[in-house]
Amino acid sequence: MSQSNDENTTGGRGASVPGVAVGIVTDNEDPEGMGRVKLSFPWRSADDESHWARMAVPMAGPDRGTYFLPEVDDEVLVGFAGGDVRHPYVLGALWNGQDSPPETNSDGNNDVRKVHSRSGHELVFDDADQSGKLELTSSSGHTVTLDDSTGSEKITIEDKTGQNRIEFDATANSLTIESGAKLSIEAPTVEIAGDGSLKLESNGILTIKGSLVKIN
C-alpha cells in the first residue's frame, strides 16, 4: 500500500479528522520495534495506508508493560492527535459481525473475564459463586487451575490426558500426585518423613535397594 497522501512537506497540518474512526490493521511489523501498526480506513481508498500508529495499552514503560499487538485485518478504534490524520493512535480493538468474542455472557451473569490467543491458549478469570477460579489452559489442553470455590479451595496442575496431575487441597490440607504410568523422583538426596505414620504399599513387587540398607 502507498503511504497516506496527507503528509504536508511544509510542516503544516494534515487533513483534520474530528473524534475517532474505525480502522483496519494492514501491517504490524514495526521496523523500529515500537509496537506500532499501520492502518487503512473504510472511508479512504484501499491502497491509502496510514502513518505508523502507536498503541494505547494499559501499561507501557522501558522494557515493561502489556503487549497485545493486533493482527493484520483486525478492526480497531483510532483517534488522532489534535485531529491530525497524520498522527493516529490505536485506542482499542473491536469485535464485529464477522469477528466474534471468545465469550458470550449467555447467562447474563458476566462472571467470566478471558484472554484467548490466536492458537487457543487461554487465561480465564471466573467469578462465579463469588469466589470462582483462575484457569490457564494451553491449546493442547494442559491446565493449571486455582479454585477458590467455597469448600473446594484447590490448586490443580493437569496434563491434556487427565492421567497425570498434581493437586494441592487447601480444604483437606493435602497434596496428591498421580501418574497414569510412572512417577519418578530424583535428587542427590531424597528424604521422606511422616510425623504420624509412613506407608509403603504395592500390588506388585516392592523393591528396596541401596549400597547399604538400614532398618531401625
- Spell out the per-residue pLDDT of the chain, length 216, in tens: 555 445 443 355 567 788 899 999 999 999 999 999 999 998 888 788 999 999 999 999 999 999 999 999 999 999 999 999 999 999 999 999 899 999 999 999 999 999 999 999 999 999 987 789 999 999 999 999 999 988 889 999 999 999 999 999 999 999 999 999 999 999 999 999 999 999 989 999 999 999 998 887
Asked if 89 and 131 sit in the same domain, the reply is: no
Give the number of other CB atoms < 10 A from CB of residue 158.
Answer: 18
pTM above 0.85, yes or no: no
Asked if 46 and 75 sit in the same domain, the reply is: yes
Tell me, yes or no, whether 205 lies in a domain: no
Tell me, yes or no, whether 126 lies in a domain: yes
Whether the CB-CB separation of 175 and 160 falls below 8 Å is answered with no
Tell me, yes or no, whether 202 lies in a domain: no
Tell me, yes or no, whether 80 lies in a domain: yes
Count of domains in the chain?
Answer: 2
Tell me, yes or no, whether 185 lies in a domain: no
Asked if 82 and 8 sit in the same domain, the reply is: yes
Tell me, yes or no, whether 70 lies in a domain: yes
Q: Is 78 exposed, middle or buried (0-12, 13-18, 19+ CB in 10 A)?
A: buried
Cα 28–Cα 29–Cα 31 angle in degrees, nearest 5? 135
- Domain with 28, as residue range(s), is 2-94
Asked if 6 and 75 sit in the same domain, the reply is: yes
Domain boundary among 31, 59, 94: 94
CATH number at residue 32: 2.40.50.230
Nearest to 171 by CA among 154, 147, 157: 154
Asked if 124 and 166 sit in the same domain, the reply is: yes
Tell me, yes or no, whether 214 lies in a domain: no
Helix (H, G, I), strand (E, B) or coil at 145: strand
Domain boundary among 62, 94, 126: 94
Report in angstroms the alpha-carbon separations of 43 from 24, 72, 155, 163: 11, 18, 51, 55
